[in-house]
Amino acid sequence: MSSSYQEKTIEEHDADVCSVLIWAREKAVKSNLERCMFGSKSILYFGPIFSENGIHPDPIKVSAQKEMRPPTTKDELQIVLAMMNYCAWDVSNLSSLNQSLRDLAKQQQLKQEHQYDTAFTNINESICSSLASIDPTPRNNELQVDAFKFGLGATIIQNENQFLLHRMH
């Protein structure tokens, strides 16, 4: 296999993919080929869309985030906090922004007070701003994957091993 993707023709790339699939079959690695995408110009990967034009937010997620309303029950608040943690990978001060909401989640009853709605609105605006400002500059991305006893792990690395995203699944 060639060392650099940029040097490859489509035919060389396809031959490498076939080699990997044959190797995987020989090693009894199971794949659901119906769920695999080959030759795609873009892919939605844990939130952002990666394409030949760079990294862009998923418009559906940005729209859903903008339309989100403040929680009215404790269950809704816990869901909102979990979703905010997932979406806000680029909001550096999230823990200070959502402190009042986390404190509220510890209480037995939800109190509808202005300070909580304000905190929710500020966090939501920060997340939407973060989602909408993903740097679209095309860069070399490297997908590193590893197999573990109980599953697979994957990391997207960009700019000489500085993490852009780090999601393990």
Distance CA 58, CA 44 (A): 8
pLDDT tens track for 73-123: 888 888 888 877 766 666 777 888 888 888 888 887 777 777 788 888 888
The candidate with the shortest Cα–Cα distance to 99, out of 80, 124, 116, is 116
First to last CA, the chain: 27
Domain locations in the chain as residue ranges: 1-39, 59-132, 139-169
| Helices and strands of the chain, counted as H and E runs | 6, 6
Average pLDDT over residues 43-63: 78
Q: Cα-Cα-Cα-Cα dihedral of 8, 12, 14, 19, to 10°?
A: -120
Q: Are 167 and 154 in contact (CB under 8 A)?
A: yes
